[in-house]
């Protein structure tokens, strides 16, 4: 299995027409005042500038800051080596797990997420992230169990609701998947957009699954009143071969779209299946 990854630690990934995304909860990686990776790891100074101390001017970066900069530059091996210099707190072990995750070394990632959970059994970031490892290994039942643990602690964790939706979908529990996605969108209408956590594309879907996934996504978005994106995913579902067009005309979630000229045009046009 390949794991295409686009990684900007300040922005998560959107799902794409090619598959689904899981949100890896990362917290903050890029420290204020640090703008690029160290040109010399031993010197600890970032290329193109240096960290600033409010009283003393330029200062040496801490190992955590250097590791964070390496992560932002996708230099994951260097980040791991640097984080290893820091006491193994739960947040630090979680960061090491994320670095291994981005290298698609899922067993190593799981090891560090598990160590983070052992250090702090209530550390929901690592619990969520361990769930994404199970998802990547197609152990969807275990992934669901992890995501539910997070939601028992943090029922307003929109990103974990979105992850749970993906896991249910892979088990073909489509209604549960739709309900979880609707919950995610209720909590955060922008959960599928770029804003502050890390997204990792962990698995492509076949064409039939993509069509069905985009149908359920369109349904959830329409129920939330996000008509523009709902129309986008109706079109995608049909282009990917979704057969039951009548559902868009009959299901109550799409009632608010039926007078929309774009919706009418989509329904009147036979899309070219991709």
For 229-264, how does the pLDDT look when each residue is reduced to its tens digit (9 = 90+)?
899 989 989 988 898 889 999 999 999 999 999 999
The total number of structural domains that make up the chain: 2
122/256 same-domain check: no
Q: Is there a contact between 12 and 196 (Cβ–Cβ < 8 Å)? A: yes
Domain range for 214 is 206-274
> What Å distances lie between residue 1 and 30, 141, 147, 198, 248, CA to CA?
30, 19, 23, 21, 34
Residue 50 lies in a domain: no
What is the rounded average pLDDT of the residues 139-158?
95
- Over the Cα atoms of the chain, what is R_g? 21
**Per-residue pLDDT tens digits for 75-89:** 999 999 999 999 999
Q: Which of 179, 131, 185, 138 has the alpha carbon at shortest distance from 153?
A: 131
Q: Among the three residues 161, 179, 204, which one is the final residue of a domain in this structure? A: 204
254/200 same-domain check: no
220/200 same-domain check: no
Mean pLDDT is lowest, of 14-18, 91-95, 205-209, for 14-18
95/215 same-domain check: no
Q: Is there a contact between 165 and 171 (Cβ–Cβ < 8 Å)? A: no
Residue 27 lies in a domain: yes
33/74 same-domain check: yes
What is the rounded average pLDDT of the residues 214-234?
89
Residue 183 lies in a domain: no
> What Å distances lie between residue 39 and 33, 81, 84, 188, 216, CA to CA?
15, 16, 20, 39, 47
Confidence at 201, pLDDT banded by 50, 70, 90: very low
**What are the strands, taking DSSP E only, across the chain?**
19-24, 38-40, 45-46, 52-53, 57-58, 198-204
pTM: 0.75
């Amino acid at each position: 299995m390949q794991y295409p990854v686009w990684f900007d630690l300040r922005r998560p990934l959107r799902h794409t027409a090619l598959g689904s995304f899981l949100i890896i909860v990362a917290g903050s990686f890029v420290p204020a005042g640090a703008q690029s990776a160290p040109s010399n790891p031993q010197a600890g100074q970032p290329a193109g500038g240096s960290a600033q101390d409010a009283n003393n001017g330029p200062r040496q970066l801490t190992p955590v800051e250097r590791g964070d900069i390496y992560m932002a530059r996708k230099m994951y091996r260097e980040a791991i080596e640097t984080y290893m210099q820091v006491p193994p707190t739960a947040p630090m072990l979680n960061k090491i797990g994320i670095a291994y995750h981005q290298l698609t070394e899922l067993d190593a990632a799981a090891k560090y997420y598990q160590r983070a959970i052992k250090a702090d059994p209530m550390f929901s970031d690592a619990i969520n992230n361990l769930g994404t490892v199970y998802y990547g290994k197609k152990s969807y039942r275990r992934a669901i169990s992890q995501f539910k643990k997070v939601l028992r602690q943090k029922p307003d964790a929109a990103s974990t609701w979105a992850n749970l939706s993906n896991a249910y979908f892979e088990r073909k529990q489509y209604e549960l998947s739709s309900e979880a996605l609707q919950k995610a969108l209720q909590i955060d209408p922008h959960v599928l957009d770029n804003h502050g956590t890390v997204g990792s594309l962990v698995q492509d879907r076949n064409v039939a699954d993509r069509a069905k996934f985009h149908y359920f996504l369109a349904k959830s978005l329409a129920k939330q009143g996000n008509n523009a994106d709902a129309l986008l995913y109706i079109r995608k579902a049909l282009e990917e071969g979704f057969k039951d067009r009548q559902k868009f005309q009959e299901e109550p979630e799409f009632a608010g779209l039926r007078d929309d000229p774009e919706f009418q045009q989509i329904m009147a046009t036979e899309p070219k299946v991709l």
